[in-house]
Structure 1
Amino acid sequence: MSVLQHASLSAALDRCRHEPIAKRIRARIGGATIVDSTRAVLVWEPRRVVPSYAVPEEDIAARLTPATVPAPAEPEGVRLASISDRPVLDPSVPFAVHTAEGQPVDLVTDGEKRAAAGLRPVDPDLAGHVVLDFDAFDAWFEEDEPSVSHPRDPFHRVDVLASSRHVRLELDGVLLAESRRPVLLFETMLPTRYYLRREDVVAPLEPTTTRTRCAYKGEASYWAVTVGDRQVPDLAWTYPDPLHEAAHVRGLVAFFDERIDVVLDGRRLDRPVTPWSSSEGS
């Protein structure tokens, strides 16, 4: 009997998973290169949906000492039916929450300490490696290209396609935008995003100070959207200068499908459930 491919991939979600990568991985603190490795592996701790870099300890130009702060309690996680029946840990869950066995370590360099910045796993397949907290470093590079938000997953894909489908976006019965020339962005484990030209958006947009970063698409800036007599903060976003995988959505506007109503070719779609289903998740 055939099985869904995504179900097959998610079947190991409760296990620690790893994948060697051929890229040179570097990380900096201040102006100093602290990590420089051509032997990195990606590590997904149990229930994690995005990986962390792990490198041999000798490729880290810093002292590693036992962590001095207790690990936070493991949260329940987010239920994403498209991935697993169990709650998963999305990127908002701090690195210090570990679901793999190991020794949390602080990273000390030039008198500066980055608390709980690493994990020495006990898994024999990862012996000698240290899993590293992406956010504990000031900059990361894959070869000479910046790596932002979190390590890129080689099994994660972004497809950006021009379309002639009729897309209508509404909230509380109020039309936000409508287009027969959308650009559709398909991304592994995420709902389809409908990127529209500014002239196809009829709801007033007001820029906010919110910024987020995506490992595959770059930095997004956000819009508050006026709906009737109220303003909804950070309901839409734009990538002014996207990474090359998402170059074709440059300057276009997308809305959170999770918080609005999408009518596609005359059919009203169910709202997807993701970490961004509430305003707190944005």
Structure 2
Amino acid sequence: MSTRMRDLLAEGLGELRHEPIGKHIRAVLDGRTVVDTTRAVLVWEPRRIVPSYAVPVSDMSAELSPTGTAATDAADGAGVHLLDLSARPVLDPSVPFTVHTAKGRVADVRTDGQQLLGAGFQPADPALDGFVVLDFRAFDAWYEEDERNVAHPRDPFHRIDVLASSRHVRVELDGEVLAESSRPTLLFETLLPTRYYLPPEDVRAKLTPSSTRTWCAYKGRASYWSATSGDHALPDIAWTYQQPLHEAEHIRGLVAFFNERLNLVVDGERASRPCTPWSSHPDT
């Protein structure tokens, strides 16, 4: 009997996973390159859905200072419920790097004039002997080859497809139409719901710019919009990529709404609201 690929991916969520990537990886701190390697691997701790870089300790111009042993299942109460993937909460990027679910040793990373507390983790696994997993956010900048990387390491098993469409899309809440378009651009992203990006002129709701900004490794920096619907305040209900990364160029300047919190009608059929890490807060 055929197996759904999503189920195969989900089967490994509870395991420590790694994948060599063959890219030239560099990390910069205070203007100095402290990681420079072509031997990096991606590491997913159990229940992590986004990978971290693991690099050979010998390819770092920094010292590791072990601080103790990380307890297995330290993150049992952390994470978000994505029942389509796992019965246990999964750890999305909002869960700090310092929360670990694999056996191993936590380490501080020391450079000239800096001590990055808990920024390293050495898994107790023979396949990763000699490697240290690093906290992406603890460093000023990361590069894959000569291109700046943002948000988190890029997952080779994760992709986006951006396609022009003529589907009729209506965004509603309590009977009020917030947007309606027959020329959406659809963004398909691995393990995430389809996003419908609409031309700004097809948005009926009055959108107010928000100060919220988030980063996506595949799309770039998102800026947010708030709106109102009847008596409902809708903070950060929509977003736009004004300067997207090259894979997402075709959504530049378009507006997408959180279909987790609104009603979406596509070609006359109301779509169910997906359950994602952004069902209650924005961070896409």
Corresponding position: 1:206 with 2:220: no
Correspondence 1:91 to 2:93 = yes
The correspondence for 2:162, drawn from 160, 163, 169, is 160
CA drift of 1:226 comes to 2.2
CA distance in 2, matches of 1:124, 1:43: 13
- Give RMSD over aligned pairs: 1.7
The alpha-carbon distance between structure 1 residues 120 and 83, as it changes in their structure 2 partners (threshold 3 A), is same
1:196 paired residue among 181, 195, 198: 198
Partners of 2:159 and 2:183 lie apart in 1 by: 23
- 1:70 Cα offset (Å): 8.3
Match of residue 267 from structure 1: 269
In 2, the alpha carbon distance for the partners of 1:213 and 1:36 equals 24
Of 80, 83, 86, which residue of structure 1 is paired with 2:82? 80
Counterpart Cα distance in 2 of 1:158 and 1:146: 18
Question: Amino acid of the residue matched to residue 94 of structure 1?
Answer: P
CA distance in 1, matches of 2:108, 2:78: 26
Q: CA deviation at 1:47?
A: 0.5
Match runs of 1:220-259 below 5 Å: 220-259=222-261
**Contact 1:68–1:115 (CA under 8 A) maintained in structure 2:** no
Alignment-derived partner of residue 45 in structure 1 = 45
Secondary structure of 2:93's aligned partner:
coil
TM-score (ref. length: structure 2): 0.96
Please list, as runs of the form range in 1=range in 2, the aligned pairs for 1:106-145 lying within 5 A after superposition.
Answer: 106-145=108-147
Q: Deviations over 1:184-234 (max 9, x none)?
A: 000001100000000000000010110000000000000011212443110
What's the CA shift for 1:281?
A: 6.0
Once the two structures are overlaid, the 10-residue window that deviates more, 151-160 or 71-80, is 71-80
Q: Who is 2:10 aligned against?
A: 10
CA offset digits 1:211-270 (Å, max 9, x no partner): 000000000000011212443110000000000111100000000010000001111111
Q: Which residue pairs with 2:172 in the alignment?
A: 170
For 1:69 and 1:55, the matched residues in 2 are separated by 19
What is the aligned residue count?
Answer: 282
SS at match of 2:178: strand
Rounded to whole Å, the distance in 2 between the matches of 1:121 and 1:73 is: 14
**Which stretch shifts more, 80-89 or 24-33?**
80-89
> Is the contact between residue 238 and residue 252 of structure 1 (CA under 8 Å) also seen in structure 2?
yes
**1:258 match: secondary structure:** coil
TM-superposed deviation, 1:44: 0.4
Letter in 2 for 1:37: T
Distance change in 2, residues 1:20/1:243 (3 Å): same
The letter for the 2-side match of 1:216 is Y
For 1:116 and 1:233, how far apart are their aligned partners in 2?
Answer: 34
Alpha-carbon shift at residue 121 of structure 1 (Å) = 1.2
In structure 2, C-alpha distance between the alignment counterparts of 1:148 and 1:93, rounded to whole Å: 17
Report percent identity of matched pairs: 63
Q: Which moved more, 1:54-63 or 1:223-232?
A: 223-232
Match for residue 65 of structure 2? 65
CA contact (8 A) 1:52 1:133 kept: yes
Residue identity opposite 1:140 in structure 2 = W
Mapped contact 2:172–2:178 kept (Cα < 8 A): yes
Question: Which amino acid in structure 2 is aligned with residue 268 of structure 1?
Answer: R
Is the contact made by 2:70 and 2:106 (CA closer than 8 Å) also made in structure 1?
no
Letter of the 1:252 partner, please give it. L
